[in-house]
Amino acid sequence: MVWFWIATTIPIALLTLGGLLGGAWAVAALLYMGGLIHVMDRLVHGAAVRTGDDGEFPSGLVLSVVLGLAHFPVMAIGVAAVAGVTGLSLGAKLCCFLAFGLFFGQVSNANAHELIHKSARWPRRLGMWVYITLLFGHHTSAHPKVHHIWVATAKDPNSARDGESFYHFWPRAWIGSFKAGWHAENAMRARAGARKSPLHPYVLYVVGGAACALLAAWLAGVGGMLAYVALASYGTMQLLLSDYVQHYGLRRAVRESGKPEPVAAGHSWNAPQLYTSALMLNAPRHSDHHATPHREFPALRLEDGMPVLPQSLPLMASLALWPRMWRRVMDPRVAKLRASQQ
């Protein structure tokens, strides 16, 4: 589907030009990532309604691989631009930091998420290395082996509790997912016995992230390392913002056996906006992803009781940075949803 290619490849071109040349290109990259996509949501929605286009994508492997491979040079350009290697002005550096960070958070993260769910090994490895460069390699283990099993329960560190602010959720989810992924990997390796890989994946996650930071320092000095860590942290923060928004306040009922009920459409918040969904490879269409984790680019199948966000996922993630306003908007919706499920 053409919208996915348009939405995700335009920023690569703008970021490359902005990082190398600065000036109007840096501003254009920021305006695209920070504003134009929301205008496009409204424009494309009208076009989709007229054409009957529902935003589905029949096969996303080629685009996912292209985006995965492009991530690494884009990261290098971003670090060089923010560190001052490409000679940008202070204003252009700021625009680049924000624009590159938004790209890593909304596109690279979403694409790595697609890749680690592939059945073939090499796309999963590509997704893993994207996460490693974002200093979040353990998500490769924690997401499929913890989050998908325990989503919307107390055992999932990436499911936000009702009334919990993002600033409390952020460190809890990062540290909790690191530990939970570690335990899940160790349990799997114990079951594998002699058949287990000689290299623990957490060695790759930690050593790989450290190597990326050292490479940035070698190429661009201390400023390069600081720029790299800042960009990776900004991108990871947005992934955790997505987790926070998409499961805020939702809980699976616990059965008499002590086990939670099966994951259903009502355990994820969804956003149907077409263009921002295309930019994030349909990650905002979250209920379908949990129902069919291996489906390429989840679909939006509206069902009774499916929670729908009042605005697009990027806008709601921005709102989550203001806890009082976030709770004013979302807490009544959570309460209404719970009442309808009783």
Report pLDDT for 295: 56
Q: Is the pLDDT of residue 315 over 60?
A: yes
Lowest mean pLDDT among 62-76, 297-311, 314-328: 297-311
Buried b (16+ CB within 10 A) or exposed e, 250-273: bbbeeeeeeebeebbbbbbbbbbb
The number of CA neighbours under 13 Å toward the Cβ of 71 is 31
Report pLDDT for 54: 43
Interval 302-316 mean pLDDT: 76
Which among 19, 115, 118 has a CA at the least distance from the CA of 69? 115
Token pair 């989503």 in the structure block, residue: 151
29 within 8 A of 14, measured Cβ to Cβ: yes
41 within 8 A of 273, measured Cβ to Cβ: yes
Token pair 């796309």 in the structure block, residue: 123
Q: Is the pLDDT of residue 133 over 90?
A: yes
**Sequence-separated (6 or more) residues with CB below 8 Å from residue 144:** 116, 117, 293
**More confident: 228 or 293:** 228
Band the pLDDT of 83: cuts 50, 70, 90: very high
Q: Which two tokens stand for residue 65?
A: 């691989």
Which among 85, 202, 96, 229 has a CA at the least distance from the CA of 142? 202
pTM over 0.85: yes
Q: Which of 50-54, 84-88, 197-201 has the highest mean pLDDT?
A: 84-88
Report pLDDT for 280: 54
DSSP state of 129: H
**More confident: 130 or 58:** 130
Interval 197-207 mean pLDDT: 92
Tens digit of each residue's pLDDT (9 = 90 or more) over 229-284 = 999 999 999 999 989 998 998 888 888 777 888 887 777 888 776 656 655 555 55
Element (H, E) at 317: helix 313-319
Residue-averaged pLDDT of the chain: 84
Residue 137 pairs in a beta bridge with none
Residue 80 pairs in a beta bridge with none
Report pLDDT for 52: 41
Lowest mean pLDDT among 43-52, 54-63, 77-86: 43-52
Lowest mean pLDDT among 162-176, 204-218, 246-260, 320-334: 246-260
Q: Is the pLDDT of residue 55 over 80?
A: no
Q: Name the amino acid, one letter, at 322.
A: W
Domain boundaries, the chain: 2-341
Q: Is the pLDDT of residue 205 over 90?
A: yes
Which among 224, 226, 209, 234 has a CA at the least distance from the CA of 101? 234
Tens digit of each residue's pLDDT (9 = 90 or more) over 142-172 = 999 999 888 889 999 999 999 999 999 999 9
CA 106 and chain centroid, separation:
6
Band the pLDDT of 51: cuts 50, 70, 90: very low
Report pLDDT for 56: 45
